[in-house]
C-alpha cells in the first residue's frame, strides 16, 4: 500500500465520551511549549490540515476527539497532549485526560503499577495530575487534579431572539465556558432533548463570542468561549450537565473542564468550600465525582483546584492512513450529519 501518512489511534471513551489517542505516527508539531504548539495547530495551514485529516470525514466523525500525544516539555510531566476536535485544537479536557491516562497505562507507554499509578500530563493549560487505580492490568478509574479554574464574570446578561434575556456565567476550567441554567431555555437535561440543547448551545455560543471577548490572563493562546454548558441541580445535590459542542452535539460525559468551571462559580457564590465533593451526571446518566481540593489565585483572581474522577474504557485500535491519490486529503463535512454550519467548512 502506498500510504502517504499513517497514524495509530487507540480508541478510548471516558464515561461515554470518545477520546481516541494518537499513540503512533504523530508528526512533529512546531513550538517551544505546548501552548505554542496549540497556537500553531490553530493558526498554521499545516496544523489545520492535520486536524481536518483526523477529525473530518471520511476518517473522522462529528462525535469525539483525537488526542495527539506529544513529548513532554515540563520536567515533571510523563507525557503531553493536545485535543483535536472538528472545530479547532483545544487546550484541556477532563474526559480526554482520562482517555489519555487509560491509553498510556493500558498500552504500556507508561508503566502501570498496582494498586495505583500516578501520571502527570502536560497540557497547554498546565499540568494535570492523574492518579489511576489499577488492577489486573486494567486502569479502573482515574482521579484528575485539574488546572486552576476561575470566574471571568457571573450573571452576564445575553439578549436572545428565542428566550429573551438570559444570564450566563463566563468561567475558565481549562478552557472558557458559558454556563447556563437550563430552565432559562425551557428544556431539561435528558436524552430526548439532546437536539434542542445543542441547537440552543450553538446559538448562544455565537451570540456570546460576538459580544464578549475572553483571553486567559497568563496563556494568550487560550481565548474565546469554547463551549456552552447547560446545568441543573437535582434534589440530592447531583449536578446535571450537558456541554454543547460544534458542530452541534452533546458531550456524552459529565464534562471535566465544564464541571471545573462550574465549581469556580459555586465557590464564588459561597456554595462550595475546600473538601466538598458532589456527583455530576451527564445527559446519558454517566457520572464524574467532582471535588474542591484547594483554593489559589490566577493573575490576582480567586481560583479553585478541582478534582475530577471517572472511568476510561478502551474499545479498539485503528490505523488511519492517507492514500496519496485520495481526492479528499483534507476531509469534508456535510450539513446532513454535521449540521447547518458545516457549509462553512
Q: What is the DSSP annotation of 42-54?
A: HHSHHHHHHHHHH
Q: DSSP string of 4-69?
A: SEEEEEEEEEETTEEEEEEEE-PPPPP-SSHHHHHHHHHHSHHHHHHHHHHHSBTT--SSSEEEEE
Scan for cell 462529528, then name that residue: 62
* Marked catalytic residue, from 65, 92, 93, 286: 93
DSSP of 282-310, one letter per residue?
A: -TTS-EEEEEEEEEEEETTEEEEEEEEEE
Q: In this structure, are strands 149-160 and 126-135 parallel, antiparallel, or unpaired?
A: unpaired
Q: Clarify whether 149 is annotated catalytic.
A: no
Q: Of the residues 255, 260, 280, 286, which is catalytic?
A: 255
CA–CA separation, 103 and 20 (whole Å): 9
Residues forming beta bridges with residue 166, ordered by sequence position:
158
312 φψ region: left (φ > 0), alpha (ψ -120 to 50), beta (else): beta
Take residue 94 and report the three cell numbers written for it: 477532563
Question: What's the N-to-C CA distance of the chain in angstroms?
Answer: 30
Q: Is 341 among the catalytic positions?
A: no
Residue 328's φ and ψ, nearest 5 degrees, are -125, 60
**What is the set of active-site residues?**
93, 255
Amino acid at each position: 500500500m502506498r500510504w502517504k501518512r499513517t497514524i495509530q489511534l487507540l480508541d478510548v471513551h471516558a464515561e461515554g465520551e470518545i477520546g481516541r489517542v494518537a499513540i503512533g505516527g504523530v508528526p512533529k508539531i512546531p513550538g517551544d511549549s505546548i501552548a505554542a504548539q496549540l497556537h500553531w495547530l490553530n493558526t498554521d495551514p499545516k496544523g489545520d490540515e492535520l486536524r481536518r485529516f483526523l477529525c473530518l470525514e471520511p476518517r473522522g466523525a462529528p462525535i469525539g476527539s483525537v488526542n495527539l500525544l506529544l513529548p513532554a516539555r515540563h520536567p515533571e510531566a510523563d507525557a503531553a497532549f493536545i485535543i483535536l476536535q472538528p472545530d479547532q485544537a483545544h487546550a484541556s479536557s477532563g474526559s480526554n485526560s482520562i482517555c489519555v491516562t487509560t491509553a498510556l497505562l493500558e498500552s504500556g507507554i507508561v508503566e502501570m503499577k498496582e494498586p495505583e499509578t500516578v501520571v502527570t500530563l502536560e497540557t497547554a493549560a498546565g499540568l494535570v495530575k492523574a492518579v489511576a487505580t489499577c488492577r489486573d492490568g486494567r486502569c479502573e478509574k482515574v482521579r484528575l487534579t485539574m488546572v486552576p479554574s476561575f470566574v471571568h464574570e457571573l450573571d452576564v446578561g445575553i439578549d436572545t431572539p428565542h428566550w429573551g434575556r438570559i444570564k450566563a456565567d463566563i468561567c475558565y476550567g481549562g478552557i472558557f465556558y458559558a454556563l447556563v441554567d437550563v430552565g432559562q431555555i425551557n428544556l431539561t437535561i435528558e436524552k430526548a432533548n439532546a437536539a434542542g440543547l445543542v441547537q440552543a448551545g450553538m446559538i448562544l455560543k455565537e451570540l456570546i463570542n460576538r459580544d464578549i471577548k475572553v483571553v486567559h490572563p497568563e496563556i494568550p493562546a487560550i481565548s474565546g468561549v469554547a463551549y456552552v454548558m447547560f446545568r441543573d441541580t437535582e434534589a440530592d445535590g447531583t449536578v446535571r450537565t450537558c456541554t454543547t459542542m460544534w458542530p452541534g452535539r452533546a458531550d456524552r460525559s459529565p464534562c471535566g473542564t465544564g464541571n471545573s468551571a462550574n465549581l469556580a462559580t459555586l465557590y464564588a457564590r459561597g456554595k462550595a468550600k475546600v473538601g466538598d465533593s458532589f456527583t455530576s451526571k451527564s445527559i446519558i446518566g454517566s457520572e464524574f465525582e467532582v471535588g474542591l481540593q484547594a483554593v489559589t489565585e490566577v493573575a490576582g483572581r480567586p481560583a479553585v483546584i478541582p478534582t475530577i474522577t471517572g472511568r476510561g474504557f478502551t474499545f479498539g485500535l485503528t490505523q488511519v492512513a492517507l492514500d496519496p491519490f485520495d481526492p479528499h486529503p483534507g476531509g469534508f463535512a456535510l450539513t446532513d450529519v454535521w449540521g447547518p454550519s458545516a457549509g462553512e467548512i
